[in-house]
Amino acid sequence: MSDVILLTGEPRVGKTTVIQKIIENLDCEISGFYTQEIREENERTGFKIITFHGIEKILAHVNIKGSPRVSKYGIDLQALDWVVSESLEKAIQQNKSVFIIDEIGAMEIFSKYFCAVVSKLLSGNFLVIGTIVKRSFPFTDKIKSMSNVTLLEVSRDNQEAIVQEVLDFVRKTNACKTKTG
């Protein structure tokens, strides 16, 4: 079964920042993706989803019409499913061992494909590091309660300690080398 460490916390507390610091200190091949805000004139207008092979897609944007929607953002499920196929599904088939998922959140869980691939990943033999929405949703609550999941809550005050704790966890799994320690 997978070794899974998931970061949670309030929105805008720095979960993705912590993930990026962890990634900077990993010395191995990583599969998966991370998210990044899209800002226009100092206002957040959406989110990009970026693979570790440098492919970027718009995940959500204020200008995407129709549903599904989270708050003011329309979600591009085709873009999400394409990224999941390219960055997670293919890597599972190639038996890669280290995955980053930023994030398992309200937008992503609209995709049944995303949920199916994440479930497959969490029940496989992989090291998974990711972020997960703090709010309660049936799919994310099920993940949080899995016996192989370690859940860490990020705050503005504990980001460096969380980075170190995750890197220590990674070292113990022997799935990936780290650049420090």
Report domain extents, the chain. 3-173
Would you say the pTM of this structure is higher than 0.85? yes
- Give tens-digit pLDDT for 67-123: 899 999 999 999 999 999 999 999 999 888 899 999 999 999 999 999 999 999 999
Cα distances (Å, whole numbers) of residue 115 to 48, 91, 138, 154, 168: 19, 16, 11, 23, 28
The DSSP secondary-structure symbol of 89 reads I
CATH code linked to domain 3-173: 3.40.50.300
Residue 138: asked if its preceding bond is cis (omega within 30°), the reply is: no
Amino acid symbol at 94: Q
pLDDT given at position 165: 95
